[in-house]
């Protein structure tokens, strides 16, 4: 995914997964998740959610706030247990390539680590040798436009730069799937637009499958191959909307009929849901 040739991962730590012509598919199989809130009440976050992520696919998961999108990512990342259902990585090998890497909405960078240290974090945990860590980190620091900032601490960077570090840190471990939890929603509108473009550029080069959670329709349509539309809590899949726009995508496509129609279709699906959420007083 990262190198041009399949299996040509000279830079990868030992034991990394690489089989020519074989790519990984993610299967989310009827997941349900209920929380117990502080009052001891059971709250259903996800209900019978099923979806697939094909190799090299960019899937957006879209829904109103509090629809359990983040819960889905948490379960996929192995950070939360599901009540029922399972997530499979078809074609994966135990102890091989990391299944997922997450880019967090709040960046979640380690404040005591420099940019370099943050990007190397996942590689450290994989047991990569220092020289290799450095080399791989340098590659993704360059790819995300962070050159010259290697020695800076997160608090010395702008929001956009911080999230670049978050993306570089995630890509550096070469995950089977990149999980992105509203990665740009903490950024200002201009920065967000620029970061979307950059992410698409990076994705064109790495072709790592992405599950991208957002509540922004335009963002989802602009970037994704398919948009999985979620209902309000408990999150259910309302529909999956394929986006038939040419790649590589560019801003000019935002006026195209396919773009507008897809957006309208999604809005129709979630409008009533959003209205109901509004009446309830939000999430």
Partner 1 sequence: MMAVERVAVTDRAAFLRRREYRALRVVALVGLVVLWELVTRTGWVSSLFLPSPLGVIGELVDMARSGQLFVHLGVSLRRLLWGFALGSVAGVAVGVSTGFFSRMEAVGQPLIAATFPIPKIALLPLLILWLGIGEPSKVAVIALGVFFPMAINTYAGVRQADPLLVRAAVAFGAGRWSVIRKVVLPSALPMIFAGLKLGAGTALLLLVAAEMIAADSGIGFLVLHAGNIMDTTKLMVGIVCLSVLGVLSHWALTGLERAAIPWRYTS
What residues line the site for partner 1 (CB under 8 A)? 77-79, 98, 100-102, 104, 106, 108, 110-113, 121-122, 125-126, 153-156, 169, 173
Q: How far is the CB of 79 from partner 1 (least distance, A)?
A: 6
Q: Select from 36, 32, 42 the least CA-distant residue to 81.
A: 32
| Ramachandran area for residue 17 (φ above 0: left; ψ -120 to 50: alpha; else beta) | beta
Q: How far is the CB of 257 from partner 1 (least distance, A)?
A: 39
Residue 212 to residue 63: CA distance in whole angstroms: 12
Residue 164, class by beta-carbon neighbours within 10 Å (0-12 exposed, 13-18 middle, 19+ buried)? buried
Q: How far is the CB of 270 from partner 1 (least distance, A)?
A: 27
Question: Which two three-digit tokens encode residue 194?
Answer: 């620029």
Nearer to partner 1, 141 or 262 (CB): 141
Q: How far is the CB of 162 from partner 1 (least distance, A)?
A: 13
Q: Which residues lie across from 46 on neighbouring strands?
A: 33, 235
Q: How far is the CB of 135 from partner 1 (least distance, A)?
A: 18
The rounded radius of gyration (Å) of the Cα atoms in the chain is: 19
CA 158 to chain centre: 21
Q: How far is the CB of 148 from partner 1 (least distance, A)?
A: 16
Residue 181 to residue 51: CA distance in whole angstroms: 17
Nearer to partner 1, 25 or 113 (CB): 113
- CA triplet 272, 273, 276: central angle to 5 degrees? 85
Q: How far is the CB of 276 from partner 1 (least distance, A)?
A: 29
Nearer to partner 1, 9 or 265 (CB): 9
Nearer to partner 1, 63 or 122 (CB): 122
Nearer to partner 1, 157 or 270 (CB): 157
Residue 19 to residue 17: CA distance in whole angstroms: 7
Nearer to partner 1, 44 or 108 (CB): 108
Nearer to partner 1, 78 or 242 (CB): 78
Q: Select from 27, 215, 177 the least CA-distant residue to 101.
A: 177
């Amino acid at each position: 995914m990262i190198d041009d040739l399949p299996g040509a991962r000279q830079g990868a730590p030992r034991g990394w997964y690489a089989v020519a012509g074989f790519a990984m598919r993610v299967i989310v199989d009827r997941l349900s998740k209920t929380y117990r809130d502080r009052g001891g009440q059971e709250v259903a976050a996800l209900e019978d959610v099923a979806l697939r992520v094909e190799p090299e696919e960019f899937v957006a998961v879209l829904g109103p706030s509090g629809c359990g999108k983040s819960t889905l990512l948490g379960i996929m990342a192995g950070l939360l247990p599901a009540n029922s259902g399972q997530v499979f990585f078809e074609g994966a090998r135990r102890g091989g390539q990391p299944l997922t890497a997450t880019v967090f909405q709040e960046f979640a960078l380690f404040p005591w680590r420099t940019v370099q240290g943050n990007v190397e974090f996942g590689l450290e945990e994989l047991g990569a040798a220092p020289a290799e860590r450095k080399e791989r980190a340098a590659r993704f620091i360059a790819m995300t436009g962070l050159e010259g900032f290697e020695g800076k601490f997160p608090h010395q960077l702008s929001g956009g730069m911080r999230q670049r570090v978050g993306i570089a840190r995630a890509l550096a471990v070469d995950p089977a799937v990149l999980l992105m939890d509203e990665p740009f929603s903490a950024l200002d509108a201009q920065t967000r637009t620029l970061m979307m473009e950059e992410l698409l550029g990076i994705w064109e080069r790495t072709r790592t499958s992405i599950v991208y959670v957002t509540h922004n329709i335009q963002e989802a349509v602009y970037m994704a191959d398919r948009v999985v539309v979620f209902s309000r809590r408990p999150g259910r899949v309302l529909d999956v909307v394929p986006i038939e726009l040419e790649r590589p995508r560019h801003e000019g496509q935002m006026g195209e009929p396919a773009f507008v129609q897809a957006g309208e279709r999604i809005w129709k699906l979630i409008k009533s849901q959003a209205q109901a959420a509004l009446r309830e007083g939000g999430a």
